[in-house]
A and B are shown apart, each in its own frame.
Chain A
Amino acid sequence: MNSSGKKTNYLNASHTLSSWFLTVDHKRIAILYLITISIFFFIGGLFAALIRLELLTPAGDLFKSDEYNKLFTLHGIVMIFFFLIPSVPAVLGNFLIPIMIGAKDLAFPRINLLSWYIYVIGATLATLAIMVGGVDTGWTFYTPYSTVYSNGAVALTIVGAFITGFSSILTGLNFLVTIHKMRAPGMTWFRLPLFVWAHYATSLIMVLATPVLASALFLLFLERVFHIGIFNPALGGDPVLFQHLFWFYSHPAVYIMILPSMGVMSELFAAFSRKRIFGYEFVACSSLAIAILGFFVWGHHMFVSGQSMYAGMVFSVLSFLVAIPSAVKAFNWSATLYKGSISYETPMLYAFGFIGLFTIGGLTGLFLSTMAVDVHVHDTYFVVAHFHYIMVGGVLMGYLGGLHYWWPKITGRLYPEAWAKLSALLVFVGFNLTFFPQFLLGYMGMPRRYHMYPEEFQVLNVCSSLGASVLGIGYFLPLVYFLWSLKFGKESPANPWGAKGLEWEIQSPPTTHNFDEIPVVTEEAYAYAKEDGKHHG
C-alpha cells in the first residue's frame, strides 16, 4: 500500500526520474517506448500532412521539387524506422510477452533498457539530420544517388538508421530467449497466446534480417564518407547489389511491422467472439510460414532494376506463396466469428477494420508480384496505396486496436468508449478515402514522388487529401482521450473484458514483478466456456 491507500503497482511503485530512466521493468520500458514512438508518429504525420497539402493542387505551389523530395523521404524514414518497426513489439510486446507466458520480466531486462536508449540515440541523430538539411534519397537510399550525388545529410541519417537497427535486433533477441526459456510451468508451445507466436516469428526476422541492413548501410556510409567505390558503377561497383542487400532486410521488415499486429488481431477476435481461435495451430504456424517465406521474396522490388528475368520469375512465384499463410489467418479469424457471441467494443471495431484493409492491401500485393502488372504500375501511386494499406491500414489498426484493448491493463483506467468508437470509425473511413483514390491514380499512371501532376488527376488527389484530414482527426482523438483517461477515466477492474489470458488474471495495473508466485498453466489459450461461445456440443 502506498500513501494514498491504493494498491501498489508498477506505476506508483516509485516516482523519481531515475526510477523511470534507469528502470529495468519491462512494463516501464514499454511506457518509455510508447511516449517516444508517439512523438515520432506525429512528426511523421506532420510530413504526411504537408505532402497532402502540396498535392491538393496540380501546380507545385507550396514546396520546390527538392524540398518535396526531402518531405517524402523524411516521412518514410521516420514512419518506418522510428514508428512502425518498434510500434507493436516495443510497446505491447514488451509489456505483454512476459506476463502472457507467466514470467516476471524479459530474459535480459538491462538489454531491454539498452535497446530503448539505442533507439533514442538513433532517432535523435536522424532528427538532427532533418534539422541540418534533411535527406532527399527516398527511404530506400538507392546508390549511386545517395552516395555520390545527393546533397542532403545522408551520412548522418544512415548512422541514425544503423544505430536504431541494433535496438530492433536486441529486442528480437530478448523476445526469442524469453519465449524459449521463461515460460511458466505448463505453458507449452501450443498453449501460448497467438500474440506470443506472432512475436516469436517477428523476432526471428528482427534477428536474421536487420544485421544485413546494418551491413548494407555500413558499406553505404563508407562509400559516402570516404569516396571509395563499393556500389558506385563509375568505380566498377554494382548498384543492384545494394538493392539486393537493402531489400533482403526491407521486405521482411514489412512482416516485422505486420506480424505483431496480426498477433493482436488473434487476441481481439478471440476476446470479442468469446471463442477459441478457429484452427489455433494453423494460425500459429502461419506466422512462422510468413516469416520464413518472407526471406525469399525480396526480388519483387527489383523487377525493373536489371535483375535477371528468371530471378524475377522465381521471386514472383515465391511472393504469391506468401498469400497462403496470410489468407489462412484472415479465414481463420472470420471462422472464429462463426457462432461466437460477438460484441462490438472499440478494439473489435479496429479488428474488423484490419480485416478489410489488410485484405485489400494483400490482394493488391498479388497484382504487384505479377511481373507484367508490376512493370505497368511500378513507381506509381498504385504501389503507394498498396503498401499503405498494409503498413498503415494493417499495422496501425492492430496497434490502435491493441492499445485500446490493453489500455485498462497498462494504465488501470478505462477510456471513454463512445469517443473511441467515433475515432475507430473516422480512422477507417478516412483511411479508405485517403488511399483508395491512390490505387486509381496509380493505375491511370500518376508516378510517385512528384509534387506536380496533370490537371485530370486533381479530383482524386483532393479526395485523398480530404481523407487524410479525416484520418488525422481519427489519429489525434485517441491521443486526447487516452491522456484524459489517465486522470478522469474510470478505474478498471482486473479483467474489464471478461477475457482469457494470464494478463487478465493479475491486477490492473500489474505490480512490478507481475506475479507474486509464478503461475502454473493448466489449460489451453482462449479456453472460453463452450456455452459462452454458443458452440455446438
Chain B
Amino acid sequence: MAKTSDKKSPLQHHFVHLNQQYDASQMGMWAFLITEILFFGALFTAYIVYRLMYPAAFGAASSHLDITLGAFNTAVLIASSLTMALAVHAGHTGSTRGIIKNLIWTIVLGSVFLGVKAIEYSHKFHEHLVPGPSFSFPLYPGAGSELFFSLYFAMTGLHAFHMVIGIIGLFILIGMAAKGRFNQEYSTPVEMMGLYWHFVDIVWIFLFPLLYLVLRHH
C-alpha cells in the first residue's frame, strides 16, 4: 500500500478540487481518443475507397494474410484488455500490488502481440509482399493488390506504433505505482491509460476482420 501518498498531494495548483481535476483528465482523454478515431478514420476511408475500386485484387491479397496468427493475436489483445481493466479496478480499490501485477501482464500480452506481428511482417517480406519496387504478386498481377498491402502495412504499422507508445506508458505507470503515487482516492493516470489501451484494442477489432476476413477467397 502507498506509504508516502500524503507527501505530495496529486491536486495541481490551478484546479479547485480533485473532482474537477479528474473530470478534466477524463474529458481530455476522450477528446484525444476522438482525434485518434479521425486519424485512423482517414485510413479506413482509403481502405473502403480502394476496396470498392478493386474488390477482386483485395480478395486475392487478403487471402495471403495468415488468419491463424491474426486470430491468435486478436485473442491476445482481448486478454490484455482484461488485464488492463483489472489494473484499473485495482486502482479503484487502492491496491498498488494489484495495479503493478496487472500492468505487467498487460505489457507481456502486448509484447506477444507485437512479436507475432513481427513474424507476420517478416513472412510478407520473404514473399515479396512488401509494397515498393520489389513487390510481386503473381496470383493477381493487376493494379490493386499492391494498394492492399500498402494499406495493410500503413494501418497495422500505425496500430503497432500505438501499442509501443502504450507499452512505454505502462512502464511509466508501474514506476509511479512503485513510488506509491496511487491510492483509493487517486489513480487517474491508470484509468486514462486504460481508456487508451482499450481504444487501441478496438482499432484492432476493426482491422482484423477488414484485412483478414472479409472478401477472403476460399
Residues in chain A within 8 A of chain B (CB atoms): 103-109, 111, 169, 173-174, 176-178, 180-182, 207-212, 214-216, 218-219, 222-223, 226-230, 235-238, 241, 245, 248, 513, 518
Contacts and interface: CB of A to CB of B under 8 A. Distances in A.
Interface in B49-65: 49-50, 53-54
Nearest to B40: A215
Given A227-B133, A229-B147, 17 more contacts: A173-B32, A173-B35, A174-B28, A176-B27, A177-B24, A181-B20, A182-B14, A182-B20, A207-B35, A209-B38, A211-B35, A212-B38, A212-B42, A214-B39, A219-B42, A219-B154, A237-B147
Contact of A228 (B24, B27, B142, B146): B146
Contacts of A177: 24, 27-28, 31
Nearest to A236: B143
Interface majority SS on A: helix, strand, loop or mixed? helix
A241 B43 contact: no
A216 B42 contact: yes
Contacts of B54: 236
A105 B23 CA distance: 16
A178 B25 CA distance: 10
8 contacts: A103-B14, A174-B28, A211-B41, A212-B39, A219-B154, A226-B131, A230-B46, A238-B50
Nearest to B41: A212
Interface in B1-28: 12-14, 16, 20, 23-24, 27-28
B34 A228 contact: no
A104 B14 contact: yes
A82 to B, nearest CB: 21
B138 interface: no
B150 interface: yes
A107 B144 CA distance: 47
A393 to B, nearest CB: 30
Nearest to A208: B38
Contacts of A245: 42, 45-46
A169 B132 CA distance: 32
B147 A513 contact: no
Nearest to B13: A104
B132 A228 contact: yes
Interface majority SS on B: helix, strand, loop or mixed? helix
- Most central of B31, B40, B50 by chain A CB within 10 Å: B31
B42 A215 contact: yes
A176 B31 contact: yes
A484 B206 CA distance: 59
Contacts of A106: 14
Contacts of A237: 50, 147
Given A107-B24, A235-B143, A208 B34 contact: yes
B150 A173 contact: no
Contact of A169 (B13, B35, B147): B35
B32 A222 contact: no
A69 B88 CA distance: 55
B205 interface: no
Contact of B49 (A109, A111, A181, A238): A238
B36 interface: yes
A236 B144 contact: yes
A181 B54 CA distance: 47
B202 to A, nearest CB: 16
B119 interface: no
A180 B23 CA distance: 10
A219 B24 contact: no
Contacts of B146: 228-229, 235-236
Contacts of A223: 150
Contacts of B43: 215, 219
A108 B28 contact: yes
B108 interface: no
B158 interface: yes
B147 A235 contact: yes
Contacts of B41: 211-212, 215
Would you list the 8 A-B pairs with minimal beta carbon distance, nearest first?
Answer: A236-B143, A215-B42, A228-B131, A211-B39, A105-B14, A104-B14, A211-B38, A107-B24
Contacts of A210: 35
A241 B27 contact: no
Contacts of B31: 173, 176-177, 207
A392 to B, nearest CB: 28
Contacts of A518: 16
A47 B23 CA distance: 46
Given A236-B147, A241-B49, A226 B132 contact: yes
B38 to A, nearest CB: 4
A228 B35 contact: no
B131 A229 contact: yes
B85 to A, nearest CB: 24
A212 B97 CA distance: 40
Contacts of B27: 176-177, 180-181
A241 B46 contact: yes
Contacts of A108: 24, 28
Contacts of B147: 229-230, 235-237
A223 B150 CA distance: 9
Interface in B132-156: 132-133, 135, 142-144, 146-147, 150-151, 154
A210 B39 CA distance: 8
B124 to A, nearest CB: 13
Contacts of A215: 38-43
B154 to A, nearest CB: 6
B191 to A, nearest CB: 16
Contact of A219 (B35, B46, B132, B135): B46
A207 B10 CA distance: 28
Given A173-B28, A238-B49, A513 B13 contact: yes
B30 to A, nearest CB: 10
A109 B143 contact: no
A208 B23 CA distance: 21
A212 B35 CA distance: 9
A210 B34 CA distance: 11
A174 B92 CA distance: 26
Contacts of A248: 42
A222 B158 CA distance: 12
Nearest to A106: B14
Nearest to A181: B24
Contacts of A207: 31, 34-35
A222 B50 contact: no
A387 B166 CA distance: 42
Nearest to B49: A241
Contacts of A218: 154, 158
Contacts of B32: 173
- Most central of A209, A210, A219, A518 by chain B CB within 10 Å: A219
A19 B49 CA distance: 50
A42 B168 CA distance: 40
